[in-house]
Amino acid sequence: MRYDRAMNILGYFDFEPLGARLEDLETPVPVIDIDVVERNLRRWQARCDKAGLANRPHIKTHKLVPLAKAQIGLGARGITVQKLGEAEVMAEAGITDMLLTFNVVGEHKLGRLADLARRTAIKVVADNAAVLEGLSHAAALAGRDIAVLVECDTGAARNGVQSPEAAIALAQAIDQAPGLAFGGLMTLPKNGARGAMAHFLDTAREGLSKSGLEVPAVSAGGSPDMWKDDGLDHVSEYRAGTYIYMDRMQIAAGSAAPDDCALSVLSTVVSVPTGDRAMIDAGSKSLTSDLVGLEGFGEVRALSGARVYNMSEEHGFLDISKVNDKPKVGDLLRITPNHVCPVTNLFDKVVFVRGSEVLGAVKVDARGTVQ
């Protein structure tokens, strides 16, 4: 079902009631301000519309069917998924336009891809010729051609062909492979290096055009540089994930302000052993151990930015040395995490709020779908 863009995104949710106040919640638990989410979604969709970019949001950040549908309802072209499990969850919910940005390798996974291809318009990527035979087999099982984008390493040093020439050769191999259709070029550039990305992709695109092979799509992504225009002249679609919630990493990158952070981890102070340290019930199993170049593992804005400076699995160590009004045992604290994407995957349910009013809980539909 496609909703009118004017519709409030609350219409996509069926909340499990938990009480009306934060004090009614058990901790630790992620709490997500729905008004901030909606503002983030609308702002980014407006940016894509103005720039002429197809918005293809990455659902690995939130893993929620209602939010994926809200993104599409607000104008997104489709969604991006990282693993087959995520795609299967979204397909069961009726979402059909998906790009899977991870090489599909292995008999079991190819069978699952074929099943998805029978009932959705899923597209995939490849960065080497060795995976093409398997993709052709999946296409034969599905009874339809599967579009394959060439993944290009434009500076992030992750997956991807290493040169425009290699991208051209792989695109031609895809075009000639049974059951496959060349779907375009795809990359996740290094942060701050869109110029190198544009040179790589433009060289590959021009070479393919000269060889008679048109490029249906040029797909880029990344939340840290999402508001920058440089390097996007020939990009046709953009994949961003973190923008829906934002986090400390995006604040540090300049792509978000603190008020753009929709998700915080609600935690309880369980001990105040010294005047410099409070212990909370959110450790690495709640906040993730990702540092992403930052100090600490999260911060409490309401306590002058007090940081979680250390963690064990269940314990969080909060530095309160510079806090005048010290927290007390039993106090609830909202922690802004460093990297919000892994946090979502640590919980079966998340709670949506409007400020301090609790709206209810929802299941994290694609939690644990890493296969």
Max distance between CA atoms of the chain, in angstroms, equals 71
Answer yes or no: is 17 within a domain: no
Q: Is the pLDDT of residue 108 over 70?
A: yes
Q: Is the pLDDT of residue 56 over 90?
A: yes
pLDDT above 90: percentage of residues in the chain: 98
Q: Kindly state the average pLDDT of the residues 17-30.
A: 97
pLDDT above 70: percentage of residues in the chain: 98
According to DSSP, the β-strands at 218-221 and 180-187 are parallel
User: Do 140 and 154 fall within a single domain?
Assistant: yes
The pLDDT tens digits of the residues spanning 282-339 come to 999 999 999 999 999 999 999 999 999 999 999 999 999 999 999 999 999 999 999 9
Which pLDDT score is estimated for 5? 67
Q: Is the pLDDT of residue 1 over 70?
A: no
Choose the final residue of a domain: 189, 221, 244: 244
Query: Pick from 39, 78, 120, 42: which is nearest to 238 by CA?
Result: 78
Answer yes or no: is 3 within a domain: no
Instruction: Determine the structural domain holding residue 334 and report its residue range.
Output: 249-363
User: Do 55 and 144 fall within a single domain?
Assistant: yes
| Secondary structure (DSSP) of 163-208 | SHHHHHHHHHHHHHSTTEEEEEEEE-PPTT-HHHHHHHHHHHHHHH
Task: Give me the number of domains the chain comprises.
Answer: 2
Q: Are 266 and 19 in contact (CB under 8 A)?
A: no
Query: Pick from 66, 89, 39: which is nearest to 246 by CA?
Result: 39
Looking at 75-233, list the stretches that DSSP marks H as alpha helix, in order from N- to C-terminal side.
Answer: 84-92, 107-119, 132-142, 164-176, 194-210
The pLDDT tens digits of the residues spanning 262-271 come to 999 999 999 9
Give the relative orientation of helices 84-92 and 65-73 as an angle to the nearest 10 degrees.
70
Looking at the chain, list the stretches that DSSP marks H as alpha helix, in order from N- to C-terminal side.
Answer: 34-51, 65-73, 84-92, 107-119, 132-142, 164-176, 194-210, 248-253, 284-287, 340-344
Q: Are 71 and 57 in contact (CB under 8 A)?
A: yes
Q: Tokens for 284, please give them.
A: 């690495």
User: 75 in the Ramachandran plot: left (φ > 0), alpha (ψ -120 to 50) or beta?
Assistant: left
Q: Are 302 and 334 in contact (CB under 8 A)?
A: yes
What CA–CA distance (Å, rounded) separates 124 from 104?
Answer: 8
User: Do 200 and 291 fall within a single domain?
Assistant: no
Q: Is the pLDDT of residue 279 over 80?
A: yes
Q: Is the pLDDT of residue 151 over 60?
A: yes
Within a 10 A sphere around the Cβ of 274, how many other Cβ atoms?
9
Which pLDDT score is estimated for 285? 98
Query: Which CATH number characterizes residue 287's domain?
Result: 2.40.37.20
Q: Kindly state the average pLDDT of the residues 84-97.
A: 98
User: Do 116 and 143 fall within a single domain?
Assistant: yes
User: Do 235 and 329 fall within a single domain?
Assistant: no
Peptide bond into 28 cis (omega under 30): yes
Answer yes or no: is 2 within a domain: no
User: Do 99 and 175 fall within a single domain?
Assistant: yes
Which pLDDT band, with edges at 50, 70 and 90, does 39 fall under?
very high
The pLDDT tens digits of the residues spanning 244-258 come to 999 999 999 999 999
Residue-wise over 231-258: b if at least 16 C-beta within 10 A, else e? bbeebbbbbbbbbbbbbbbbbebebbee
What CA–CA distance (Å, rounded) separates 233 from 54?
Answer: 13
User: Do 199 and 302 fall within a single domain?
Assistant: no
Which pLDDT score is estimated for 21? 96
User: Do 54 and 200 fall within a single domain?
Assistant: yes
User: Do 51 and 162 fall within a single domain?
Assistant: yes
pTM: 0.96
Answer yes or no: is 100 within a domain: yes
What CA–CA distance (Å, rounded) separates 125 from 104?
Answer: 8
Q: Kindly state the average pLDDT of the residues 20-24.
A: 96
What CA–CA distance (Å, rounded) separates 166 from 55?
Answer: 27
Q: Are 12 and 67 in contact (CB under 8 A)?
A: yes
Query: Which CATH number characterizes residue 136's domain?
Result: 3.20.20.10
Which range has the worst mean pLDDT, 4-18, 43-57, 90-104, 143-157?
4-18
Choose the final residue of a domain: 220, 244, 268: 244
Which pLDDT band, with edges at 50, 70 and 90, does 121 fall under?
very high
Answer yes or no: is 28 within a domain: no
Answer yes or no: is 23 within a domain: no
Average pLDDT across the chain, whole number = 97
Q: Are 139 and 146 in contact (CB under 8 A)?
A: yes
User: Do 176 and 62 fall within a single domain?
Assistant: yes
What CA–CA distance (Å, rounded) separates 201 from 187?
Answer: 9
Choose the final residue of a domain: 191, 215, 244: 244
Answer yes or no: is 309 within a domain: yes
Q: Is the pLDDT of residue 84 over 60?
A: yes
3-state secondary structure of 16: strand
Which pLDDT band, with edges at 50, 70 and 90, does 4 fall under?
low
Answer yes or no: is 292 within a domain: yes
Q: Is the pLDDT of residue 3 over 60?
A: no
Which pLDDT score is estimated for 2? 47
User: Do 130 and 196 fall within a single domain?
Assistant: yes
User: Do 56 and 190 fall within a single domain?
Assistant: yes
